[in-house]
């Protein structure tokens, strides 16, 4: 996985569920 800003992640991944999953992993 590549470390990217939350904003960039949301913009790149329109799927909120996917972004949430990644955030959970980062937690």
**Tens-digit pLDDT profile for residues 5-24:** 666 666 665 566 666 776 76
Burial per residue of 2-23, b for 16 or more beta-carbon CB atoms within 10 angstroms, e otherwise: eeeeeeebeeeeeeeeebeeee
Range of the domain at 24: 1-27
Tally of domains in the chain = 1
Residue predicted with more confidence, 20 or 3: 20
Return the number of other C-beta atoms located less than 10 Å from residue 25's C-beta. Answer: 8
Predicted local confidence at residue 20, as pLDDT: 72
Tokens 């590549």 sit on residue:
2
Rg of the chain taking only CA atoms, in angstroms: 8
Full-model pTM:
0.25
């Amino acid at each position: 996985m590549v470390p990217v800003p939350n904003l960039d992640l949301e913009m790149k991944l329109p799927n909120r569920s996917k972004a949430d999953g990644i955030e959970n992993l980062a937690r």
